[in-house]
């Protein structure tokens, strides 16, 4: 039996730090990635797709977003079991209620909003969902799996969203706890989990799939789906990690002091992978460059802005410094040279406005025909 | 540079060649009267130096003498950098230029170019040159009346020349051409972001506004999202509560409690009804007992009444008897008193008759006396009236009156005067003769002679007769007047019946005596018989009345007293009559009192009889009622019935009390409270259910309405826009801050450079100024203009200084510029002052002359003046124009 295990699609989520068209493209890619998943399910001929929570980023996504998502699911006609997570908990008037009311849910898509077995007769699969019916559940909602009754001949597979107790970093365990041995105590063939955005194995039969499309710089090992094969003899599941993300997120930090540093930065950007338009980069620059080197840097960054999906640059720690040659060009410029020298002193004393002012002054001086 | 010689021909008013040669390198004074051509000389020098020889048009024609078609020519000798040059130019007609110097000669345009290079000035594109083209010449060369119009502002070429000198002094420049442009550029840039007061504007302000708008939009969307989340959470809590209420069966529990309470309420109601029944029975028994009691009491009352009335009847009979005795006794006493009253009234009548008789006699005496007095008065009054009448009659018989007498006196006087005038007009005749004589005719003698008023005749005895005729012209008139006056007087005397005036006066005196007598008698009559009392008629009427009264009064009898005895008898009679009246009144009062006593006794007797009759009627009626009642039920039957009903009432009351005690034992208040609470609880629980249902429906509706809006996506989008706005604002802020700093740094550096730049000029200018303005510092502009003076911490604008001070500052500034140039080894043109210092007082003029001489030690100074003697003290070389 083959299953495709995925989670944390978070459809409708924005990209706060990434403005404009870049942000729109990234947001749209979440839906595109669902198509990728459907395609993967179809090519791998899986028996079901298990989505372990946080399908939607919020209860208040627009109707259009809801319809768009369910339309994408038609690309794979097999069963999809969608589990409410903490972002889209099965609360009153939830996004799931709205989807049903809109008539957007295709027949082969199961909304696991109740803690009750979903029996897929054709596959002989009994999906035991532990939906979150509140955003934060203090108790382990998978507890009922231990006593769940399923008809004979069905393979029991758990589906839950939360933090495996004692397994994840402390900040991830604030709510929605899941017992680490739930797969064993409930005698499950596999426990498909969501909430942790990186792909992560908890134990032999328990995995976090992670988000299929990377959406932040900090997640570890995101951008995958899990292809799970359950042997007919009840043995251990075979789990394959399949990359599904389109965009790669990179957080870089580069010190800049010499011209070579600018060149090295270009090399680093070039080594991020192809295609460059699928790379999202957060670049922090530190140090101090001469005006000429700064001009080179600006040119380099302008070029990469066009090549990357998104390049965010934090250069608040980067200053410019006037070289001796820069200042020498002002010889004979009278008070202009005096002003430039004072701005240079200010810049060296850590006054960023003075550094920029000096840069402006020198540029204006050249433009006005001085030097 | 130094001017050495100038020769002018056909230039405006300077027609014949005018030459000033051998100008010294220092101070020279060029004198000339007004209109003699000093300024024209300067114009000629200026034209030679700065106007192209080929200058055409109005400017060129203006050089020609008025109405003369001749070619103006100017020739100048000067030195530059130690080299001697000669410049010659001819204008307008066959224009030419020639410059020789340093062994070379340049002609026409080449000469012009060489001259321009040599002296460092500019030329206009076309037309005549202006002051701003003249470089340092323009700065140091001052025409009449220009010095005090405005600050000395060096033209551009002059500044360039000065800058060349100053550069070498301070080794610094004002940023060349680029510096001012950068200053302007950054000032403009700063204005783009900041107001003069340093507040954001334009792009910076808009970036801030955009950020605020984006933030507000995001916060508003977040607020809506938050509200939606709260609604969802609220819906969840509401649903949980509804589920809990359903699960716990809250309403059912409340209803069960209500039913139990209501069952107890029913039991309570039954007992209440039992109490009401028992109390109703007790009330009925009490009513019946009361009725029996009432009947029994009625019988007793009737019996008591009959007995009581019998006793009252006996008493009343006794009372009637007593009252009859009292009435008879009173009647006997009243009869006795009536008789006594009759006797008293008879005695009173007798006393009254005696008193009236005596009083009549007394009245007669009084009336008789009055009657006698009135009769006497009447007689006197009648006599007075007759006397008055007689006196008036005597007066009336005399004709003369006071008025007639006055007229007679006037006529007498007029006659006298007429006679006098006649005598005055008469002829005076005196006779002195020794014979007897007789005068006849109209002549009157007066002892001394005669007055002849007409014809007269003097008969001299023995002698003869003399006829005399008075001949005065007025005499006949006078005689006529005298005759008319006499006739009038005589007529008046006849009318009065008297012969003379004295007789008339006597007659009037007698008449007045009679009138006085009449008046006196009238007054006497008025006193005796006043008008208000009716006069004589009143007296007569009074006398008649008194006579009538006397006729009515009694006449005295023989034994009647009279006089004093009569008065005493009257008094005695009055006292006796008053004593009889008192006795009669006492008898009447005693009779009246007894009459009331009789009436009171009769009344009491009547009352006693009435009372007796009423008692007798009542007793008969009650007795009849008692008899009738007893015929229906005797007294014993009634007493037994009452005893029975009393027993029944006690039994019913006891039963009601027991029922009440049984009811109270159930604690009805607690049961009713419980029922009310239970019912309220059921209502409240149902209401709560409905309320929750309504709220849930409302929340669902609201959530469905906002569901499609995609609020979370909106918030994400708005947060993105806010961040973009933040980045934009930060970028603009960085740029604006940098522009602010760059502009500030440039301006500060420029200011410092300017100060350094101006220092050399100040070095020369300040000492000059302090000769005239102690403690003053010049305020120099960027363009080297003296904008004013700084004195005692106060700045004074150039235009605020007096005309004299402005002129002096302007001259000193030029000297300083020239000194600076000379000191720096530059080529200062001569300082030329045309009729300057005309506004200086003598002291300052002397000081200025001293400074001019001092400055002239460094460079050439040419003073053109119409008063060369003023400069004599300088010992300078003097030239004359004209």
Cβ neighbours of B726 in A, within 8 Å: none
- Contact between B107 and B97 (Cβ < 8 Å): yes
Q: Measure Cα distances from B494 to B453, B503, B504, B506, B510 in Å.
A: 28, 12, 11, 16, 19
Share of chain A above pLDDT 70, in %: 96
A327 part of contact set with chain B, CB < 8 Å: no
The pLDDT value recorded for residue B714 is: 86
pLDDT band of residue B400 (cuts 50, 70, 90) is: confident
Which of B182, B715, B745 is facing A368, going by the closest CB pair? B182
pLDDT tens-digit series, residues B115-134: 888 887 777 777 787 777 77
The pLDDT value recorded for residue B146 is: 62
User: 10 Å Cβ neighbour count for B136?
Assistant: 27
A303 part of contact set with chain B, CB < 8 Å: no
The pLDDT value recorded for residue B175 is: 56
Where are the alpha helices (H) located in B22-87, listed in sequence order?
38-50, 57-61
A98 part of contact set with chain B, CB < 8 Å: yes
CA distance B132 to chain A (A): 26
Residue B81 has pLDDT above 60, yes or no: yes
Quote the longest CA-to-CA distance of chain A.
96
User: 10 Å Cβ neighbour count for B872?
Assistant: 12
pLDDT tens-digit series, residues A327-353: 777 776 678 888 888 888 888 887 878
B170 part of contact set with chain A, CB < 8 Å: no
Domains of chain B and any CATH numbers: 2-174+782-880 (3.40.50.300)
Interface size A-B, in CB pairs within 8 Å, comes to 177
Q: Is the peptide bond before A275 cis (omega within 30 degrees of 0)?
A: yes
Map B342-401 to HEC letters.
HHHHHHHHHHHHHHHHHHHHHHHHHHHHHHHHHHHHHHHHHHHHHHHHHHHHHHHHCCCC
d(CA B281, CA B283): 5
The pLDDT value recorded for residue B782 is: 63
Helix or strand (DSSP H, E) at B169: helix B156-170
Strand-pair category, B83-90 with B96-101: antiparallel
pLDDT tens-digit series, residues B651-688: 999 999 998 998 888 888 999 999 999 999 999 999 99
CA distance A216 to chain B (A): 15
pLDDT tens-digit series, residues A305-318: 999 999 999 888 88
Strand-pair category, A200-203 with A190-194: unpaired
Residue of chain B whose alpha carbon sits nearest to that of A57: B712
- Measure the CA angle with vertex A79, ends A74 and A83; round to 5°: 100
Residue of chain B whose alpha carbon sits nearest to that of A341: B745
Q: Say whether B181 and A98 touch across the interface (CB within 8 A).
A: no
CA distance A317 to chain B (A): 13
The mean predicted confidence, pLDDT, of chain B is 86
- Contact between A220 and A18 (Cβ < 8 Å): no
Per-residue pLDDT, averaged over B760-789, amounts to 80
pLDDT band of residue B469 (cuts 50, 70, 90) is: confident
Share of chain B above pLDDT 70, in %: 95
Cβ neighbours of A333 in B, within 8 Å: 175-176, 178-179
The pLDDT value recorded for residue B171 is: 44
pLDDT band of residue B170 (cuts 50, 70, 90) is: very low
The mean predicted confidence, pLDDT, of chain A is 90
User: 10 Å Cβ neighbour count for B358?
Assistant: 23
Residue A276 has pLDDT above 50, yes or no: yes
CA distance A298 to chain B (A): 15
Q: Measure Cα distances from B117 to B52, B81, B123, B156, B163 in Å.
A: 14, 13, 11, 16, 17
CA distance A327 to chain B (A): 14
- Between these two residues, B325 and B838, which has the higher pLDDT value? B325
- Between these two residues, B135 and A301, which has the higher pLDDT value? A301
d(CA B652, CA B646): 10
d(CA A149, CA A339): 84
Residue B866 has pLDDT above 70, yes or no: yes
Among A residues 53-82, those touching chain B with beta carbons less than 8 Å apart = 57-65
The pLDDT value recorded for residue B220 is: 94
Cα dihedral B346, B349, B351, B354 in deg (nearest 10): -140
d(CA A72, CA A6): 15
Helix or strand (DSSP H, E) at B2: strand B2-9
Residue A144 has pLDDT above 80, yes or no: yes
Residue of chain A whose alpha carbon sits nearest to that of B181: A368
pLDDT band of residue A173 (cuts 50, 70, 90) is: low
Cβ neighbours of A346 in B, within 8 Å: 741
Among B residues 751-780, those touching chain A with beta carbons less than 8 Å apart = 752-753
- Measure the CA angle with vertex B453, ends B448 and B455; round to 5°: 110
Least confident of B632-636, B698-702, B709-713: B709-713
Cα dihedral across residues B190, B192, B193, B194: positive or negative? positive
Residue B839 has pLDDT above 70, yes or no: yes
Least confident of B7-21, B749-763, B792-806: B749-763
User: 10 Å Cβ neighbour count for A71?
Assistant: 14
d(CA B529, CA B525): 6
Helix or strand (DSSP H, E) at B832: strand B831-834
CA atoms lying within 13 Å on the CB side of residue A272:
27
- Between these two residues, B290 and B449, which has the higher pLDDT value? B290
Residue A371 has pLDDT above 60, yes or no: no
Residue B507 has pLDDT above 70, yes or no: yes
Residue B23, φ and ψ in degrees, nearest 5:
-65, 135
A247 part of contact set with chain B, CB < 8 Å: no
pLDDT tens-digit series, residues B478-495: 888 888 998 988 888 888
- Which CATH number among 3.30.70.20, 3.60.21.10, 3.40.50.300, 3.30.450.20 corresponds to the domain A2-243? 3.60.21.10
Per domain, the residue ranges of chain A are 2-243, 248-367
Least confident of B35-44, B205-214, B502-511, B778-787: B778-787
Helix or strand (DSSP H, E) at B104: strand B104-107
The pLDDT value recorded for residue A243 is: 94
- Contact between A157 and A190 (Cβ < 8 Å): yes
The pLDDT value recorded for residue B9 is: 93
Residue B753 has pLDDT above 50, yes or no: yes
CA distance B193 to chain A (A): 14
Map chain A to HEC letters.
CEEEEECCCCECCCCCCCCHHHHHHHHHHHHHHHHHHHHHHHHHCCCEEEECCCCECCCCCCHHHHHHHHHHHCCCCCCEEECCCCCCCCCCCCHHHHHHHHCCCCCCEEECCCCCCEEECCCCEEEEEECCCCCCCCCCCCHHHHHCCCCCCCEEEEEEECEECCCCCHHHHCCCEECCCHHHHCCCCEEEEECCCCCEEEECCEEECCCCCCCCCCCCCCCEEEEEECCCCCCCCEEEEEECCCCEEEEEEEEECCHHHHHHHHHHHHCCCCCHHHEEEEEEEEEEEEHHHHHHHHHHHHHHHHHCCEEEEEEEEEEEECCHHHHHCCCCCCHHHHHHHHHHHHHHCCCHHHHHHHHHHHHHHHHCCCC
Give, as one character, the DSSP assignment of residue B58.
Answer: H
């Amino acid at each position: 039996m083959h299953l495709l295990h995925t989670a944390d699609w978070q459809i409708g989520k924005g990209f706060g730090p990434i403005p404009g068209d870049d942000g729109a493209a990234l947001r749209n890619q979440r839906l595109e990635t669902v198509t990728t998943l459907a395609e993967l399910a179809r090519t791998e001929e899986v028996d079901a797709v298990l989505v372990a929570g946080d399908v939607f980023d919020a209860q208040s996504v627009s109707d259009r977003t809801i319809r768009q998502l369910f339309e994408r699911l038609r690309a794979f006609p097999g069963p999809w079991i969608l589990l409410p997570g903490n972002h889209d908990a099965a609360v009153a008037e939830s996004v799931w209620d709205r989807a049903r009311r809109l008539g957007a849910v295709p027949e082969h898509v199961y909304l696991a909003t109740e803690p009750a077995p979903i029996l897929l007769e054709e596959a002989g699969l009994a999906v035991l969902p532990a939906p979150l019916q509140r955003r934060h559940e203090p108790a382990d909602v998978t507890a009922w799996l231990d006593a769940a009754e399923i008809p004979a001949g069905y393979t029991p597979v758990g589906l839950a969203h939360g933090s495996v107790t004692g397994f994840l970093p402390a900040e991830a365990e604030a709510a929605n706890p899941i017992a680490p041995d739930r797969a064993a105590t409930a005698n499950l063939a596999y426990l498909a989990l969501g909430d942790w955005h990186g792909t992560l194995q908890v134990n032999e039969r328990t995995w976090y799939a992670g988000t299929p499309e990377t959406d932040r710089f900090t997640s570890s090992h995101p951008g995958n789906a899990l292809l799970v094969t359950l042997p007919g003899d009840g043995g251990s599941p075979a789990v394959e990690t399949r990359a599904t993300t389109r965009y790669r997120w990179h957080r870089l930090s580069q010190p800049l002091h010499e011209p070579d540093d600018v060149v090295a930065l270009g090399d680093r950007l070039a080594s991020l992978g192809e295609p460059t338009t699928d790379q999202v980069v957060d670049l922090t620059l530190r140090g101090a460059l001469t005006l000429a080197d700064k001009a080179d840097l600006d040119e380099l960054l302008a070029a990469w802005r066009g090549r990357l999906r998104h390049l965010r640059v934090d250069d608040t720690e980067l200053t410019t410094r006037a070289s001796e040659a820069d200042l020498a060009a002002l010889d004979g410029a009278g008070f202009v040279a005096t002003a430039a020298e004072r701005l240079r002193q200010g810049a060296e004393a850590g006054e960023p406005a003075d550094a920029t002012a000096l840069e402006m002054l020198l540029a204006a001086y050249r433009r006005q025909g001085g030097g | 540079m130094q001017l050495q010689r100038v020769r002018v021909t056909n230039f405006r008013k300077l027609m014949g060649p005018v030459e000033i040669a051998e100008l010294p390198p220092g101070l020279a004074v060029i004198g000339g009267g007004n209109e003699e051509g000093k300024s024209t000389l300067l114009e000629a020098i200026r034209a030679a130096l700065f106007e192209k020889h080929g200058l055409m048009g109005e400017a060129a024609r203006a050089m020609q003498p008025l109405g003369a078609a001749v070619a103006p020519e100017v020739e100048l000798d000067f030195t530059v950098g130690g080299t001697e040059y000669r410049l010659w130019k001819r204008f307008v007609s066959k224009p030419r230029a020639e410059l020789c110097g340093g062994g070379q000669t340049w002609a026409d345009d080449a000469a012009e170019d060489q001259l321009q290079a040599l002296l460092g000035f500019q030329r206009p594109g076309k037309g005549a040159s202006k002051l701003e083209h003249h470089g340092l010449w323009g700065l140091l060369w001052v025409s009449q009346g220009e010095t005090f119009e405005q600050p000395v502002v060096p033209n551009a070429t002059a500044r360039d020349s000065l800058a060349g000198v100053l550069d070498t002094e301070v080794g610094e420049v004002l940023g060349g051409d680029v510096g001012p442009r950068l200053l302007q550029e950054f000032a403009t840039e700063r204005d783009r972001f900041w107001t003069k007061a340093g507040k954001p504007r334009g792009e910076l302000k808009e970036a801030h506004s955009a950020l605020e708008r984006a933030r507000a939009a995001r916060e508003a969307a977040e607020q809506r999202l938050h509200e939606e989340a709260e609604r969802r959470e609220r819906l969840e809590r509401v649903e949980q509560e509804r589920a809990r209420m359903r699960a716990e069966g809250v309403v059912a529990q409340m209803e069960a409690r209500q039913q139990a309470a209501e069952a107890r309420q029913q039991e309570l109601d039954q007992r209440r009804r039992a109490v009401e029944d028992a109390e109703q029975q007790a009330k009925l028994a009490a009513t019946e007992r009361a009725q029996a009691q009432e009947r029994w009491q009625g019988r007793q009352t009737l019996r008591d009444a009959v007995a009581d009335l019998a006793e009252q009847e006996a008493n009343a009979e006794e009372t009637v008897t007593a009252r009859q005795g009292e009435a008879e006794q009173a009647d006997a006493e009243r009869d006795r008193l009536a008789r006594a009253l009759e006797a008293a009234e008879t005695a009173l009548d007798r006393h009254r008759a005696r008193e009236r008789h005596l009083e009549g006699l007394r009245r007669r005496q009084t009336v008789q006396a009055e009657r006698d007095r009135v009769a006497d008065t009447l007689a006197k009054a009648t006599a007075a009236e007759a006397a008055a009448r007689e006196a008036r009659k005597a007066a009336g018989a005399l004709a003369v009156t006071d008025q007639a007498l006055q007229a007679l006196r006037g006529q007498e006087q007029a006659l006298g005067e007429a006679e006098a005038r006649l005598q005055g007009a008469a002829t005076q005749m005196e006779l002195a003769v020794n014979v007897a004589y007789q005068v006849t005719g109209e002549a009157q003698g007066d002892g001394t002679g005669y007055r002849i008023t007409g014809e007269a005749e003097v008969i001299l005895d023995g002698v003869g007769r003399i006829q005399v005729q008075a001949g005065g012209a007025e005499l006949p008139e006078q005689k006529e007047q005298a005759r008319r006056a006499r006739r009038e007087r005589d007529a008046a005397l006849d009318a009065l019946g008297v012969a003379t005036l004295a007789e008339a006066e006597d007659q009037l005196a007698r008449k007045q005596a009679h009138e006085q007598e009449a008046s006196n008698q009238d007054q006497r009559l008025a006193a005796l018989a006043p008008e208000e009392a009716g006069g004589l008629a009143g007296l007569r009427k009074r006398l008649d009345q008194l006579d009538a009264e006397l006729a009515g009064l009694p006449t005295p009898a023989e034994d009647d007293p009279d006089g004093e005895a009569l008065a005493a008898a009257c008094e005695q009679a009055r006292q006796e009559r008053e004593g009889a009246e008192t006795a009669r009144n006492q008898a009447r009062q005693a009779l009246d009192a007894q009459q009331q006593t009789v009436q009171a006794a009769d009344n009491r007797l009547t009352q006693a009889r009435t009372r007796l009759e009423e008692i007798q009627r009542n007793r008969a009626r009650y007795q009849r009622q008692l008899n009738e009642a007893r015929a229906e039920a005797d007294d014993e039957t009634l007493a037994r019935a009452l005893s029975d009903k009393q027993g029944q009432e006690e039994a019913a009351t006891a039963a009601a009390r027991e029922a009440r005690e049984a009811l109270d034992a159930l604690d009805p208040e607690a049961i009713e409270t419980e029922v009310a609470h239970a019912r309220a609880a059921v209502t409240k629980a149902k209401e709560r259910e409905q309320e929750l249902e309504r709220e849930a429906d409302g929340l669902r509706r609201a959530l469905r309405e906002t569901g499609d809006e995609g609020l979370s996506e909106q918030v994400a989008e708005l947060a993105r826009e806010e961040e973009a706005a933040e980045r934009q604002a930060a970028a603009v802020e960085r740029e604006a801050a940098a522009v602010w700093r760059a502009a500030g740094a440039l301006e500060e550096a420029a200011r410092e450079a300017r100060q350094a730049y101006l220092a050399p000029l100040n070095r020369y200018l300040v000492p000059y100024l302090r000769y005239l303005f102690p403690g003053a510092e010049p305020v120099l502009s960027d363009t080297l203009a003296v904008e004013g003076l700084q004195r005692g911490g106060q700045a004074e604008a150039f235009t605020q200084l007096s005309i004299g001070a402005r002129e002096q500052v302007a001259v000193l500034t030029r000297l300083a510029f020239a000194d600076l140039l000379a000191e720096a080894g530059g080529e200062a043109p001569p300082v030329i002052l045309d009729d300057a210092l005309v506004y200086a007082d003598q002291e300052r003029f002397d000081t200025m002359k001293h400074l001019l001489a001092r400055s002239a030690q460094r460079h050439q100074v040419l003073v053109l003046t119409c008063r060369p003697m003023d400069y004599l003290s300088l010992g300078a070389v003097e030239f004359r124009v004209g």
